[in-house]
Structure 1
């Protein structure tokens, strides 16, 4: 399934199906990002929350609850919680990465300052915990608080692992599970929990979100070396220039000889890059089949996500979730 074959993309179909729920989520987000005493909080939050984006994570929570037959009010709280956690991590990430642009717009830390971004991110985390508590479910609180800790842990691990040639695929997967997949899996899992779904279904929802998040990140890392800037919004080789040791490079390093390893050490570990290095890096990735191997891994994780759905009730939402798994990897298929 290529992108050009999709008249309506799967996340757009899901958004249309969940339109009423997402409207309620957006109302709640606007209410809870308000601040009586610090007007900068809604200013900074609105800049990011209202910048567009697919809102995939909160939609996954609503979808999971719907799929499991939930008819109460708290899926709205949980979807807003997931979006607040995601937004808080973006604010913090842009400070850590010294980013100047997100979704085609200047970042909050550029428009205001690092202090504002960090503190508003902290405020959103606090708001997220308030929303969790309102559901009255200790299990939901456990899942989302663990996810928050895992996200932070993954980001800290990445600080040391991203430029260390000793980083292997197991460590890479741990980083990805932290910074990306943890919130995907928590988003789907809490939807099943709030609906009172059987444990087998709750586990299946977790497995779907986990595998979807991993596939999502691997595709993003692969496209950095093989994508189209007009489609991805990223320049080819940005991760290389930023000295990020992602899966394609990890695979190439594992097969490198002494001369090649010295090249990776100079460019990634030591940051001494020069003209022509990106082209040489691309040649090494092709020589060792690293891009194709990374592509195969992304497709395998998408297949795991779809397999997890087989344990869930037959439903049009389940079909849409399956299509989203396909869509995530459609850019590399």
Structure 2
């Protein structure tokens, strides 16, 4: 039985092990997303924060700190800060992508407007930095502020790379490190820093989060072409229709004949999509086995994540994090 079919999934095990701390983080999030003067701020924030997400990123911070023996309270601040950064980026992303749905619900920009989404996202970024400063630890401020900058950089890079057939796997990886892996790695790293473990172990935590985030995004991109709508919440080929150059297509473009390359130029670069184009795109991905190759990449990054944890303290949470790395790629096994 796959991890995806397991009665208790790894992130649920983590949530159970961290139930008390997660409850306190949720209380802190609700407290800090309040505003005396602008009631729209908690309205917009609550719509997304209370939408039933897994809270995976703040959970990683709590797990990292607990695994490393931290016994203070500042990991709560950092977990809340991580969730605020994540929520802010989602608000901004939905405006940039002109999205109408997230987690099965209408997006904030659809229910309110783009201005509200952008400004509330800015407010959450500011709140996240207040939470960081309260720890009095310049190192965690450095890590999370760098992560915020990397996320923004990755999103801007994606604007130019997503529909450019010159985008190769190195650029794709850079985008993924920005939009997804940066916050995973920072969330893990600050948990170790606040626990004052040695730099080798802190690096291992970073490496785990980096590899986990990359595997997570590769799987997401792969499932767009071979997942089930009921499980993913997306229709097959949404990325193709939105002209997003993700890893399966990048691999196919690299192997394409001149005629096939002309097809990708028309559909992705120029946006001239016609009936039957998605089926043809899927045929080309299957012709060059790029879905299988993408799956292999995801599995390799999952293995890197698990290997990184070999040098961190032996703790029950470490096994949960190892299982989480397996779970992230279980849907494509």
Distance in 2, matches of 1:323 and 1:170, equals: 28
1:228-266 Cα shifts (integer Å, max 9, x gaps): 111111100000000000000000000001000000000
Shift of 1:313: 1.3
Q: What SS is found at the alignment partner of 1:36?
A: coil
The equivalent residue for 1:47 is: 47
SS across alignment from 1:35: coil
Which residue does 1:149 correspond to in 2? 149
**Equivalent position of 1:56 in the other structure:** 56
Q: Does residue 256 of structure 1 match 2:256?
A: yes
- Counterpart CA distance in 2 for 1:17 and 1:189 is 20
The CA deviation at 1:314 is 1.1
Alpha-carbon separation, structure 1, partners of 2:232 and 2:112:
26
CA-atom RMSD in angstroms: 0.6
Residues 212 and 302, structure 2, Cα contact 8 Å, conserved in 1: yes
Cα displacement string for residues 173-223 of structure 1 (whole angstroms, at most 9, x for unaligned residues)? 000000000000000000000000111110000000000000000000000
Separation in 2, partners of 1:231, 1:155: 26
Name the counterpart of 1:280.
280
How far off its partner does 1:2 sit? 1.6
1:6 aligns with 2:20: no
> 1:299 Cα shift?
0.1
Tell me the CA shift for residue 5 of structure 1. Answer: 4.1
In 1, Cα distance between equivalents of 2:190 and 2:312 = 15
What CA distance in whole angstroms lies between the structure 1 residues aligned with 2:313 and 2:21? 21
* Aligned position for 1:99: 99
Aligned partner of 1:191 in structure 2 is 191
1:323 partnered with 2:318: no
State the match for 1:133 in structure 2.
133
Q: Tell me the distance in 1 between the aligned counterparts of 2:270 and 2:48.
A: 34
For 1:209-248, list aligned pairs within 5 A: 209-248=209-248
Number of the residue aligned with 1:27? 27
Tell me the CA shift for residue 4 of structure 1. Answer: 5.4
Aligned match of 1:123:
123
**CA deviations over 1:275-299 (Å, ceiling 9, x no partner):** 0000000000000110000000000
Stretches of 4+ aligned residues off by more than 4 angstroms: none
Pair 1:304 & 2:322 matched: no
Distance 1:29 1:4 in 2: 29
Gaps of 5+ in 1: none
* 1:113 is the counterpart of 2:113: yes
SS in 1 for 2:311: coil
Instruction: List alignment gaps of at least 5 residues for structure 2.
Output: none
How many residues were matched structurally? Answer: 333
Measured after TM superposition, the shift of residue 312 of structure 1 is 0.8
Partners of 2:230 and 2:150 lie apart in 1 by 33
Q: Which residue of 1 aligns with 2:88?
A: 88
Q: Which residue of 1 aligns with 2:289?
A: 289
